[in-house]
Amino acid sequence: MNIKNNNAQLYEILKLKLKDFDKNNTLVIDGDKLKKHRIQNRTLVKESELIRIIKHLNPKNCQMSESGFPFLKDIISVDIKVSVYRDMTTGIINFNGTNYKRLLSSSGNVRNKKVIFINEDLYDKVNKILLCGMPEDMEFDIFAKFSAYYALVNTDSNPVTMPKMVVVDDYVHSITEKFDLVKEIEKDKYVVENNVEYTTKTKPFDGAGLVDISLAKKWVKKLKLDYIPSAFQFRAIPGLKGNLYTFDIKAFAKERGRTKIVDIWGKEWDIEKDGINCILTKSQFKFYKKFNSFQDWLDSFNEVIYGYRRTFNISKVADKVSDLPRRKPLSYQPLQSLELDEEKIKKLCADTVEAIKRISTDVDSFLEYRGLLADEENRYESNSIDVPEYYKALKKNKDLFYDDWIQKKVQADIKNYKERTYRGGILVEGNYQTFIPDIYGLAEYAFGLPVKGLLDKDQVYSNYWLNKGVKVIDIIRYPHIAMEHKISEVVSPAKMQYYKYITEGIVTNLYDSTALKLNGADFDNDKVLTTSNKILIAAARKNMGNTIVYIPMEKDGDGKEVERYKINNMERLIKTDVDGMSNSIGEVVNKITKLWSLPQTEKVKDYIKIM
């Protein structure tokens, strides 16, 4: 969830289209039209550390606009026409006489074909702050990763108390089970070997770290929360990211008689003497190779540049368990991979049919559907974003439900809802929760103990489902492409006190391929849909295939040095953006959907696995 702070600052920035610029990448708007243009071409963004940096460097260019929001003049969000962007070698556009330079494009920006440009006068200063002591002309091999990590500063966030951290290496674990292997034998040529016993390596704590309860409580106060979240998603310059799971680190250390932790640079830390209250894994520190020690990074991080002091930031926190809806809609993808007869389909759809009847005839049910009434037992999916004012008026005067104009709005809303159900959006018991590793096992690993965890193969822990008396759930993660249903047993393990603060989330075990099966999920805030629907569980048990493992062909040159580029190579950065913008997972998924529409022979199933 986004942090619950009703006072979260929104900023107005310009949103332009690159196709509007001329061949010299210049866009000039007549002064009389500029105000109208800005109002029509503005977007609101939440505060990020990037915004805090720019405000600090040039506060006079952040003034209250006529719309009531601070208008940040030094950055522009540009919608990119890829064919035009491809030829922009300098990365500079000119808007009304001011040059703006390509600063960043996050993974989300790339998916939506957007690029953030900054006033060229600020570029060097902002870049120096973001690099945090790393050379401005350093070389990097995989530019897409560099761009994504560099752009993390643009994530919505709130600064909190700086943790006293130690960064441990990633734990690599081998699991052996039956897999379906997709092997590349030539370029674009594959073979499938099904039901093969195979050993593969996993990183069961990828993207995950621990925050001690003592520090978590300070963050709760700073973020103005009324509960202790299971997880805090964090961001810090440069390229530190992931989830920190709330855990009593000090109690664990005392029970196991351990206080020493060795970091990725080989330095030994004592959690008592050094006051350690946070454990990060190497997977969360993307540029760790660029620093000689933790202190080397910390000194760079704490150095005040142009009067700016970098901050440790929280971008999201896990939901409050009482806020979780009881039901959520599926999509067509998890359904297309199951064999369901007409009777099962009717039973599966019955709850949705009844829900549509209720919201069509009962004003309270409709308001509930729109998220305007709280009913913990019968709550629909959260549908409270951008609630129109006329529905808020309906809540105050329910007689308006019979007004012709309101009824037209209600019927249009219900029609849209029905159309979503036709595409597989049927309601099932369940909700989205945070995907969590066995944090007890993570603590064992950090302190150099044998890594065992608290859960066995095919087991999960879920406070939510245990409180409902549910013993078996189906775990689903999107995009659901082949047969990624994962049926797991919900258990209450020994040493439950170490899951005390995991009130929301699905905690998985170390011993099976759950994360790999769910399209290579990791633990940096991935969400999974879990359901107790017996029809889905039974059908998934019957149809459920093995986890698919892709084995690429060994190529000449494997192991040799990869070509590297300097990070100030603007032409290469733009090419990286363009390559990412040219990809579309939707195209692949659509082709797989067509394969699912065919009779499911072994050959068709193998093609689905290859896709």
- 208-212 and 240-247 strand pairing: parallel
Report the pLDDT value the prediction gives residue 84, as an integer from 0 to 100: 85
Q: Any long-range contacts for 34-41 (C-beta under 8 Å, 24+ apart)? A: 34/96, 35/66, 38/14, 38/65, 38/71, 39/66, 39/67, 41/14, 41/15, 41/16
The alpha-helical segments, DSSP class H, found in 362-403 are 363-369, 389-396
d(CA 554, CA 190): 13
d(CA 460, CA 158): 31
Report the pLDDT value the prediction gives residue 379, as an integer from 0 to 100: 47
pLDDT, tens only, 437-485: 999 999 999 999 999 999 999 999 999 999 999 999 999 998 888 888 9
Report the pLDDT value the prediction gives residue 423, as an integer from 0 to 100: 87
Query: Dihedral of the CA atoms 500, 502, 504, 506 (nearest 10)?
Result: -120
* pLDDT band (50, 70, 90) for residue 523: very high
Q: Where would I find the beta strands (DSSP E) of 439-516?
A: 459-461, 472-476, 486-490, 506-508
Q: Mean pLDDT throughout 359-387?
A: 69
Task: Assess contact for 499 and 459: CB atoms under 8 A.
Answer: no
Per-residue CA distances from 554 to 347, 564, 606 (Å): 49, 21, 22
Per-residue CA distances from 399 to 370, 371, 404, 610 (Å): 17, 19, 11, 56
Q: Which of 117-121, 315-319, 398-402 has the lowest mean pLDDT?
A: 398-402
Phi-psi region of 297 (alpha: psi -120 to 50; beta: other; left: phi over 0): alpha
User: Between vectors from CA 568 to CA 563 and to CA 571, what angle results, nearest 5°?
Assistant: 75
Strand partners, 93: 100
d(CA 560, CA 48): 39
Report the pLDDT value the prediction gives residue 7, as an integer from 0 to 100: 46
Q: Mean pLDDT throughout 263-270?
A: 97
Report the pLDDT value the prediction gives residue 124, as an integer from 0 to 100: 97
Q: What is the CA radius of gyration of the chain?
A: 26
Per-residue CA distances from 233 to 314, 345, 524 (Å): 6, 38, 7
pLDDT, tens only, 177-230: 999 999 999 988 999 999 999 999 999 999 999 999 999 999 999 999 999 999
Question: What phi, psi does 510 have (nearest 5°)?
Answer: -90, -10
**Pair of tokens at residue 53:** 């940096």
Instruction: Say yes or no to pLDDT of 254 above 90.
Output: yes
**Pair of tokens at residue 468:** 């409902």
d(CA 153, CA 19): 27
For residue 238, say if its preceding peptide bond is cis, omega within 30 degrees of 0.
yes
Instruction: State if pTM tops 0.85.
Output: yes
- 10-17 and 70-79 strand pairing: parallel
d(CA 477, CA 362): 33
Instruction: Say yes or no to pLDDT of 376 above 70.
Output: no
pLDDT, tens only, 271-300: 999 999 999 999 999 999 999 999 999 999
Task: Assess contact for 510 and 451: CB atoms under 8 A.
Answer: yes
Q: What's the full length of the chain, in residues?
A: 611
